[in-house]
Structure 1
């Protein structure tokens, strides 16, 4: 096995025991990128010399955390002090902020090796599409807006990477690329230094190749409950199978993958029962759209006033001009509905459930590159501010990955990660999903 093939948790153990150097991992990673990125196109910026110099420095010191020396990709809407943050926008070509976003500072201080910046949809919001391809099938999208980060982790070009989610831009690419991803509880990871779209929706998460990988980063961020977490037994685990009001949008393979996963968990001792959310939850997709565009107006308004305003994509001009006609009353009503549903959803976990399982995407990654996929299976959970973990559960006949997501109550991030870890032995991420 080449070092680049190691998961983050596997490499962490070898680096801690001095059986693998940071430089060896860095050189293997850079060689893999040189081989694969010309066709996958996951990266917008890499400085190889800087990566190797930093790896050598890390080898001179004892590991300060399990992230020491692990390779990390940064979505290119997140600021980095030593690299440009271009946001896939003609307004920000070669732009350098000169500072690290808070999330980047956390992983750097933890000893992670930041490799470079990864492709994104423009401003992680719309407009220009990324150049990235799905490593499993280059004719298909890797999803968006965290396209480069998800593809780089899936293609073994990096072990860990940041993504962001305002609608479905983090969990959906995890499913499309067959990797693990966590969208934490809204607000528990600082968004300082990342492009703002909708302040009450935007959430920073990360990708890995295993549930253990996600937990390594969660420890660095001291997510709620991480220091007190305990293993969760799969036997007796109460799983709410939630097909949601969007079930008809799932393709046959997404539906089969969810049902097969439910059967596998039940066979391993979990208690799976169908969960239908209360009627007010059916209005959450419309509320999400109201919040998204209502808050997005403020996020892009300043861009319409500067000297480069003529270069701004029309999509953002429309948002700034409130082309959808979001009213103050409508925005307040959306906030109120979301707040009420958050309390109601959290209450489900008091007596009835340990975890909710639902589709992570509508199924196979779409062919072509004009769309990054439908986020209908993500927006409710994003608006509810709850933590979500994407898990790969199989592949379609076209070898395209399929995934599900596990959802927990707000601030239940640590327990959700332990539940995901408990589920892994019962699942086969490479299993062929067949239609009955």
Structure 2
């Protein structure tokens, strides 16, 4: 079997020169799933055979690309259980989620549904970290992050309400992109906290992250900047008043050095009290909205729900309208302050993605502390899988830009990848382009 094609662009180049059949990547992914799924457990449902190819889509940017879909996103071809383990289940959906329809219209091949935590919150699923199956892959988009890290698919979609894209991307050593809030429609996606829920995706290269962004949004193709000369990158993790793990400090310093060597100016930031309060406010907004979004599910299934989810919903019931409004007003004020920082001080911010390496055990999914405030702000965030911790597990950093500056963010990240081979492309722990598959 030919070697794994690497990026979406290189795959299409091989298709055009007849070096690959359009289903080659699909079959390679299927082989990888067969080999690794017993250990990793990234999938809730899998296609038994490739979807029928529509050759009229051959010029589409995702033609023939296998893709995983988080199990809170409706699909007509696969059941949906929303991470509940079966106490809530839809054997079929009448229509695909808007995202899935867009993907199919662009030629993508849906490989199956990836594991989610319960309603994309806390209760873990069955998935394990491909780098060490004794460790969590993170949550809630656990299956999608692990599937990409293990080479089971080149692209998989997830969602983020607190840290559910960036944290598992850091733990699993892949790129994870949470675009500006509401970039992609949430139609057909199970809601949790509608002011926070954001669709994102995982890949093993910045190039593929950018290809998917352009394909789904209609943006122009994103190219790396010629250099980062003139680019100002601030360094600020939110919250800034916590004791940061030594491994995370070291990896952040490595990221600063990479950016500096690429020509960027590194800027120290103090974003003030407006920003610092957001971690607490995110919890208020999430609990208040989740209690109302999941009112029916809580009424019928509270005795089967995980205790952490029940605790959050019941916390939300105690939060009044005025407190919720105060939190939302604080967010609006903080967004204005942050936009002013981006307009006058920096082009991007480097921040911690997670509190450390993926913890041992799969009974919890880790801490979303360093993602919560940024999610509440609705800004685009990209995990760069740049380093490793003392146990040899991946640790990433976030590159963050202002709302609706996604293209600029991805251009900067692409330039960083060109200058730093360590983050340019990530292969799976058991890589597909090994001698056995060459």
What residue in structure 1 maps to residue 26 of structure 2? 26
Is the contact between residue 7 and residue 207 of structure 2 (CA under 8 Å) also seen in structure 1?
no
- For residues 87 and 2 of structure 1, the distance between their equivalents in structure 2, rounded to whole angstroms, comes to 36
What residue in structure 1 maps to residue 436 of structure 2? none
What residue in structure 1 maps to residue 279 of structure 2? 285
- For residues 241 and 109 of structure 2, the distance between their equivalents in structure 1, rounded to whole angstroms, comes to 41
Is the contact between residue 241 and residue 357 of structure 1 (CA under 8 Å) also seen in structure 2?
yes
What residue in structure 2 maps to residue 326 of structure 1? 319
Deviations 1:57-115 (A, max 9, x none): 24x44523221001100000111111001112132245322321111111111001110
How many pairs align? 422
What residue in structure 2 maps to residue 91 of structure 1? 87
What residue in structure 2 maps to residue 260 of structure 1? 254
- For residues 9 and 390 of structure 2, the distance between their equivalents in structure 1, rounded to whole angstroms, comes to 30
Unaligned runs of 5+ in 1: 432-436
Deviations 1:307-343 (A, max 9, x none): x564344444444444662121110000000001011
Change (3 A) 1:136 1:296: same
Is the contact between residue 119 and residue 147 of structure 1 (CA under 8 Å) also seen in structure 2?
yes
TM-score, normalised to structure 2's length?
0.91
1:243-392 correspondence to structure 2 within 5 Å: 243-246=237-240, 248-306=242-300, 310-322=303-315, 325-392=318-385
1:198 is displaced (CA, Å) by 0.4
Q: Is structure 2 residue 422 aligned with structure 1 residue 426?
A: no
Change (3 A) 1:244 1:316: closer
1:430 is displaced (CA, Å) by 7.2
TM-score, normalised to structure 1's length?
0.92
Is the contact between residue 246 and residue 377 of structure 1 (CA under 8 Å) also seen in structure 2?
no
- For residues 397 and 283 of structure 1, the distance between their equivalents in structure 2, rounded to whole angstroms, comes to 31
Deviations 1:240-285 (A, max 9, x none): 0113334635321111000111022212321001112112211111
Is the contact between residue 136 and residue 399 of structure 1 (CA under 8 Å) also seen in structure 2?
no
- For residues 3 and 40 of structure 2, the distance between their equivalents in structure 1, rounded to whole angstroms, comes to 20
- For residues 78 and 184 of structure 2, the distance between their equivalents in structure 1, rounded to whole angstroms, comes to 22
What residue in structure 1 maps to residue 230 of structure 2? 236
Change (3 A) 1:3 1:91: farther
Change (3 A) 1:176 1:194: same
- For residues 336 and 243 of structure 2, the distance between their equivalents in structure 1, rounded to whole angstroms, comes to 27
Is the contact between residue 214 and residue 221 of structure 2 (CA under 8 Å) also seen in structure 1?
no
1:72-87 correspondence to structure 2 within 5 Å: 72-87=67-82
1:231 is displaced (CA, Å) by 4.3
Change (3 A) 1:313 1:372: closer
Change (3 A) 1:266 1:39: same
What residue in structure 1 maps to residue 427 of structure 2? none
Unaligned runs of 5+ in 2: 425-438
What residue in structure 1 maps to residue 7 of structure 2? 7
- For residues 299 and 363 of structure 1, the distance between their equivalents in structure 2, rounded to whole angstroms, comes to 31
Is the contact between residue 4 and residue 158 of structure 1 (CA under 8 Å) also seen in structure 2?
no
- For residues 238 and 20 of structure 2, the distance between their equivalents in structure 1, rounded to whole angstroms, comes to 46
